[in-house]
């Protein structure tokens, strides 16, 4: 019994010694190998999520209408406007020259195109033609001025529903003038005063004549009003190789010839050019107003794919310009840690402990 107890105590003592010896050996090996073991850095915190501020929505494309001159051919403008609005395209600004200024003023006042067509069909040409001989022109133009003011509710240019400009020509210098303030009917009268047919319009100290002399289709005026996309409607007469049979026809063709070069240059600055087939309609053929309106509708309908494509192109460009750049993903970097190398996955985190 005594021998057995002694043997048990001896066994436990030997076991404890072995355990203590093993622990001491492990500590010794760890101490010896300290210089050969690379330190392990604490794991870097996860990358901070990039904060992306959403870009403000791009403003809509501002559409401008540039309505050219052409006397009775100008009824085609009504058809163009009808078709544009039927396809959801409404002008944000309007500029007009001569006949285009008449239609443009009515449209800019808030009159819808169907109402414009009704007024055009009911128009008595004699009511806007006040003949006055030996006054610098056959027609004085006051009747046209009064007609326009009545149709727009006596609004001045700067109080139109849609921003509007009428283009005329300074008689003394030949400079282009863009009317954006003042008496609407008077500005339209100045823009429509065909030299030799209408007497020049005196406003202040200056006299003005038809805007078609210097700007047959007022693309630049529409840009000045803030248009991003300009739809130009060209109804100007082209030299046909024959001599017109009426005085108005001769004058109208003479103005068209004078403005051809300037007109081509300005039309080149438009985004879209619509050309209604109205060459067979004479400048005084008011009885063909319905035919002119129909040709305007057809020409605008044919141009719709091109118009939609151009609007979409401008909208994509605006979105791209306002889209913020993608955040740069952090690249892992190696750091020298006192002779040892550790890998830091987040370059924006604090330096790892070595």
Q: Which of 109, 191, 210, 236 is catalytic?
A: 210
Phi-psi region of 323 (alpha: psi -120 to 50; beta: other; left: phi over 0): beta
Tell me how many domains the chain contains.
Answer: 1
The listed range with the strongest mean pLDDT (235-239, 269-273, 335-339, 350-354) is 269-273
Asked if residue 333 is part of any domain, the answer here is no
Active site residue 210: yes
DSSP 89-112: ---SEEEEETHHHHHHHHHHTT--
pLDDT tens column, 186-224: 999 999 998 888 999 999 999 999 999 999 999 999 999
Domain contains 75: yes
- For residues 354 and 350, give the distance between their C-alpha atoms in angstroms, rounded to a whole number: 12
All residues at 6 or more sequence positions from 88 whose CB lies less than 8 Å from its CB, including other chains: none
| 341: pLDDT strictly greater than 90 | no
**Is 328 domain-assigned?**
no
Residue 160 lies in a domain: yes
**The CATH number of the domain where 252 resides is what?**
3.40.1090.10
* pTM for the predicted model, two decimal places: 0.75
Whether 34 is covered by a domain: the verdict is no
Apex 285 CA angle, 282 and 290, nearest 5: 110
pLDDT digits (tens, 9 = 90+) for 103-148: 999 999 999 999 999 999 898 888 888 876 545 557 889 999 999 9
Structural tokens at position 92: 């944000």
Closest CA to 95 of 266, 290, 256: 266
44 lies in a domain? no
pLDDT in tens, 137-166: 578 899 999 999 999 999 999 999 999 999
- 98 is a catalytic site residue: yes
């Amino acid at each position: 019994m005594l021998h057995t107890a002694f043997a048990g105590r001896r066994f436990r003592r030997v076991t404890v010694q072995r355990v203590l010896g093993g622990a001491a050996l492990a500590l010794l090996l760890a101490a010896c190998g300290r210089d050969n073991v690379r330190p392990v850095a604490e794991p870097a915190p996860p990358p901070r999520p990039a904060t992306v501020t959403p870009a403000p929505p791009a403003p809509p494309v501002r559409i401008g209408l540039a309505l050219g001159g052409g006397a009775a051919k100008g009824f085609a403008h009504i058809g163009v406007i009808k078709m544009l609005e039927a396809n959801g395209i409404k002008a944000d600004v309007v500029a007009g020259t001569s006949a285009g200024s008449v239609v443009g003023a009515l449209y800019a006042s808030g009159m819808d195109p169907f109402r414009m067509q009704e007024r055009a069909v009911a128009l008595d040409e004699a009511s806007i033609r006040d003949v006055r001989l030996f006054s610098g022109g056959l027609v004085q133009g006051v009747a046209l001025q009064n007609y326009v003011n009545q149709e727009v509710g006596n609004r001045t240019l700067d109080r139109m529903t849609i921003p509007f400009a009428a283009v005329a020509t300074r008689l003394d210098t030949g400079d282009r003038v863009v009317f954006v303030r003042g008496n609407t009917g008077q500005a339209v009268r100045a823009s429509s005063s065909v030299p030799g047919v209408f007497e020049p319009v005196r406003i202040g100290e200056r006299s003005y004549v038809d805007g078609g002399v210097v700007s047959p289709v007022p693309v630049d005026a529409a840009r000045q009003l803030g248009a991003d996309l300009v739809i130009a409607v060209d109804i100007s007469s082209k030299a046909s190789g024959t001599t017109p049979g009426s005085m108005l026809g001769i004058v109208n063709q003479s103005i068209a010839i004078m403005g051809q070069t300037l007109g081509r240059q300005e039309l080149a600055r438009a985004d879209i050019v619509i050309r209604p087939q109205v060459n067979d309609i004479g400048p005084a053929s008011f009885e063909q107003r319905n035919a002119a309106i129909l040709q305007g509708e057809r020409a605008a309908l044919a141009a719709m794919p091109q118009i939609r494509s151009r609007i979409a192109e401008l909208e994509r460009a605006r979105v791209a310009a306002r889209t913020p750049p993608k955040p740069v993903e952090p690249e892992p970097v190696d750091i020298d840690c006192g002779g040892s190398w550790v890998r830091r996955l987040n370059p924006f985190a604090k330096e790892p402990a070595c």
